[in-house]
């Protein structure tokens, strides 16, 4: 009996290590893809006499700033959930997870409105290099946010069933890391696309 338990523990530890390494590799690969897209955006911005082009008009910077607040709030709520489960405060963990999920939903909904505002300004895939670079980056990021939201929803359901515990919360750790990555990429995107632009 004891030998079986001793044999099981290192397997569990290896599984956790594999999951952590897998998430790091996954995030690293996506980081390189985003880096390539940001480089392309930088080239476009460097070659453009003004940012954004004159025929585009004012970018919806204030709305993009609201999206930033929503995403930071969601990321903070996830971090609070992680702290709560480590301190065995399961009710607080669940409420923080629900808040993170709802703020994430609000972020995606707000992103859809932001895309509509930008499209109305003429920033679309087919409107030249500027529109393709900006809309491509925003759309690619929104896709990653949607994936993260599915993951957070799954963790929230698991927490509601009581399967996320102080001794077993790797799933929450990994999705928290992923969501922080989504937040960092958005901050860079916000600075690259909207910083210095004035608009509604």
Domains of the chain by residue range? 2-193
Please give the residue that has the higher pLDDT: either 134 or 66. Answer: 66
pLDDT of residue 137: 81
58-61, long-range: CB < 8 A, 24+ apart: 58/121, 58/197, 58/198, 58/199, 58/200, 59/118, 59/121, 59/123, 59/193, 59/194, 59/197, 59/199, 60/114, 60/117, 60/118, 60/121, 60/199, 60/200, 61/194, 61/197, 61/198, 61/199, 61/200
pLDDT of residue 11: 39
Q: How many CA atoms within 13 Å lie on the side-chain side of 76?
A: 7
Question: What is the value of pTM for the model shown?
Answer: 0.79
Please give the residue that has the higher pLDDT: either 114 or 39. Answer: 114
What is the rounded distance in angstroms from the CA atom of residue 74 to the CA atom of residue 71? 5
What is the rounded distance in angstroms from the CA atom of residue 132 to the CA atom of residue 118? 12
User: Does 110 score more than 90 pLDDT?
Assistant: yes
Please give the residue that has the higher pLDDT: either 17 or 24. Answer: 24
User: Does 5 score more than 60 pLDDT?
Assistant: no
Please give the residue that has the higher pLDDT: either 170 or 94. Answer: 94
Mean predicted lDDT score pLDDT of the chain: 80
CATH superfamily label, 2-193: Cytochrome c oxidase, subunit III, four-helix bundle (1.20.120.80)
Are the C-beta atoms of residues 178 and 154 closer than 8 Å to each other? Answer: no
User: Does 76 score more than 70 pLDDT?
Assistant: yes
What number is the average pLDDT over the span 19-41? 70
User: Does 115 score more than 80 pLDDT?
Assistant: yes
What is the rounded distance in angstroms from the CA atom of residue 145 to the CA atom of residue 105? 9
Which residue is associated with the tokens 């996320």?
Answer: 164
């Amino acid at each position: 009996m004891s030998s079986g338990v001793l044999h099981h523990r290192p397997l569990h530890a290896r599984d956790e290590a594999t999951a952590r390494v897998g998430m790091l590799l996954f995030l690293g690969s996506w980081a390189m893809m985003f880096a390539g897209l940001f480089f392309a955006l930088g080239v476009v911005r460097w070659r453009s006499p003004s940012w954004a082009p004159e025929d585009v008009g004012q970018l919806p910077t204030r709305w993009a700033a609201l999206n930033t607040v929503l995403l930071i709030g969601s990321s903070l709520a996830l971090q609070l959930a992680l702290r709560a489960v480590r301190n065995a405060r399961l009710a607080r963990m669940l409420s923080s997870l629900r808040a993170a999920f709802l703020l994430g939903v609000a972020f995606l909904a707000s992103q859809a409105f932001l895309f509509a505002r930008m499209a109305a300004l003429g920033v679309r895939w087919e409107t030249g290099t500027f529109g393709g670079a900006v809309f491509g980056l925003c759309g690619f990021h929104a896709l990653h946010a949607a994936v993260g939201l599915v993951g957070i929803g799954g963790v929230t359901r698991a927490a509601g069933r009581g399967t996320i515990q102080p001794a077993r919360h790797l799933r929450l750790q990994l999705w928290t890391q992923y969501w922080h990555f989504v937040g960092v990429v958005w901050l860079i995107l916000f600075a690259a696309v909207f910083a210095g632009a004035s608009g509604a």
